[in-house]
Amino acid sequence: MISALFIQALQMSIVVLLAPMLTGLVRLFKARLLRRCGPSPIQPYRDLIRLLRKEAVIAENASWLFRAAPYLIFAATWVAAALIPTFATGLVFSWTADLIAIIALLGSARFFLALAGMDVGTSFGGIGSSREVMIATLAEPSMLLIIFTLALVAGSTQLSSIAAFMTSPQVGLRVSLAIALIALIMVAIAENARIPVDNPATHLELTMVHEAMVLEYSGRHLAMIELAASLKLLLYISLIACLFVPWKLADLGAGPLAYLVGLAAYLAKLAAGGALLALFETATAKMRVFRVPDFLGAALMLGLLAALLRFVSRGL
């Protein structure tokens, strides 16, 4: 029991400690691909610490919700990230929430983020919030259909069970899983406000979504929001890794060596995911906001197709 709790606590700290590193790595990879030097991968930690030490400047008519939201957003994202098997399956609290509930937790975080964007009453916040919820209305149903597909393949919505099934030889090559993977990557890109849906590097452009919502934030509040955003990126990469490349995931009660191997594999997976993301982002251009529904509509259709294939035939 104690060791199980320790593993769960370790998982919880690992995700939050690694998240800024992942963001830093993606930035570094992107910079190198653009032939720039780029900042050190630990730059996000420095930024966070600096932000935490600064005083927070709050707009005059901001309400309590504006101040409470960063903590709620961070907490919901953190809980969601802590429930995804990163280096070990069968975590002690893994039955608290299945994949549907984890995605819904991210929905709760987004709900408060969008509200916080509207709290100050400027057009920037409003434009960001309204676009964010528009993207969410397409991304969430796509995600659900992907979950349907996975749940039908593995017979479970529990992440540990799905991961265990995916490592077993029963999986084989399936069309529906391949389609679901593509759809999941598209959703992950949209959810994390990456190119081509949104650009995390811009600050004052009207094409932006996420950065417009958090424009009024500063100091420790901004730090919380930034950390939550990094955590969400880590969450999605871990999710894809756990579902589609669940190699070397340590089982419950395996020895310390298995945990170490699992951890090393996880770090490698994260780095590979970050590198692929950077490569993809440098190779594409940001699209107009009203092209995003087409992009996500494609994800939705792929998700539906994958789910239907599963309903039609068990072999596909």
What residues between 219 and 258 interact with another protein by CB under 8 A? 219-220, 223-224
Name the token pair of 252: 């419950």
- Closest separation in Å from C-beta 147 to another protein: 8
The answer to the question of residue 312 lying near another protein (CB under 8 A) is yes
Contact in structure between 216 and 123 (CB atoms under 8 Å): no
Identified binder of another protein from the candidate list 4, 31, 33, 59, rule CB under 8 A: 59
Which residue's CB is nearer to another protein, number 139 or number 234?
Answer: 139
DSSP type of residue 86: S
Binding segment for another protein (CB under 8 A), chosen from 72-80, 193-201, 231-239, 277-285, is 72-80
Binding segment for another protein (CB under 8 A), chosen from 151-159, 179-187, 188-196, 275-283, is 151-159
Residues ≥6 apart with Cβ < 8 Å to 198: 190, 207, 208, 209, 210, 211, 286
Give dist(CA 109, CA 310) in Å, integer.
31
Give dist(CA 163, CA 103) in Å, integer.
17
- Closest separation in Å from C-beta 238 to another protein: 18
- Closest separation in Å from C-beta 297 to another protein: 8
User: Footprint of another protein on residues 184-213 (CB under 8 A)?
Assistant: 204
DSSP type of residue 289: G
Site string for another protein, 122-141 (x = CB under 8 A): xxxxxx-xxx-xx-xxxxxx
Identified binder of another protein from the candidate list 38, 45, 156, 251, rule CB under 8 A: 156
Phi then psi dihedrals of residue 208, to 5 deg: -85, 160
Identified binder of another protein from the candidate list 10, 31, 58, 263, rule CB under 8 A: 58
Name the token pair of 108: 């709760």
The answer to the question of residue 289 lying near another protein (CB under 8 A) is yes
Query: How many residues interact with another protein (rule CB under 8 A)?
Result: 88
Which residue's CB is nearer to another protein, number 88 or number 114?
Answer: 114
Sign of CA dihedral 114, 120, 125, 131: positive
- Closest separation in Å from C-beta 93 to another protein: 7
Identified binder of another protein from the candidate list 10, 31, 100, 267, rule CB under 8 A: 100
Name the token pair of 266: 């996880």
Cβ atoms within 10 Å, residue 241: 24
Identified binder of another protein from the candidate list 45, 93, 259, 280, rule CB under 8 A: 93
Binding segment for another protein (CB under 8 A), chosen from 70-78, 238-246, 254-262, 272-280, is 70-78
- Cα 290 off chain centre by: 23
Identified binder of another protein from the candidate list 19, 225, 235, 307, rule CB under 8 A: 307
Binding segment for another protein (CB under 8 A), chosen from 32-40, 168-176, 269-277, 305-313, is 305-313
- Closest separation in Å from C-beta 99 to another protein: 9
Q: Which residue type sits at 17? A: L
Contact in structure between 69 and 116 (CB atoms under 8 Å): yes
CA-CA distances (angstroms) from residue 245 to 6, 76, 250, 265, 294?
A: 25, 25, 13, 10, 28
Give dist(CA 31, CA 263) in Å, integer.
27
Name the token pair of 39: 């900042």
User: Footprint of another protein on residues 160-179 (CB under 8 A)?
Assistant: 161
Which residue's CB is nearer to another protein, number 26 or number 139?
Answer: 139
